[in-house]
Amino acid sequence: MPDYKPNQFVRAFAVLALVAALIAVGVIVATSDGGSDGDDGAQVTSNGPNKRGRTAVERGVWIIRSGDTLGRISEQTGIEIDTLIQLNPDLDPQALLEGQRIALR
């Protein structure tokens, strides 16, 4: 049986590939927004409600559509997330259902 002799070039290439992969992952993580759609529970800064938000505020009710989150509703209506939660104490922010109605005032 012949003696096994490791290839130094392959070993060096493997180490360099690992380092390059770690750098790539670091850059991707640092530049990504975490996969969120703008709703990370952070303070909402808005110039006021958009057209759909104004209409909902005038009616006093928001009807949940697919993809809605409390953060997005807050951005569109100009109403703080904490206020939405206070107005809707039985609301589970993690389980919003399409067609569900949320009080805005």
Instruction: Map out the domains of the chain as residue ranges.
Output: 51-103
Q: Is the pLDDT of residue 91 over 80?
A: yes
Look up tokens 């389980």; give the residue.
95
For CA atoms 35, 51, 101, 84, the dihedral sign is: positive
**Which superfamily is assigned to 51-103 in CATH?**
LysM domain (3.10.350.10)
Rounded Cα gap, residues 56 and 63, in angstroms: 8
Positive or negative, the CA dihedral 33, 37, 38, 41 is negative
C-alpha pair distances (Å), 36 with each of 28, 41, 67? 14, 10, 12
Q: Please write the tens of the pLDDT for every residue from 20-62.
A: 999 999 888 888 765 555 444 444 444 566 667 777 777 888 8
- For the whole prediction, is pTM greater than 0.85? no
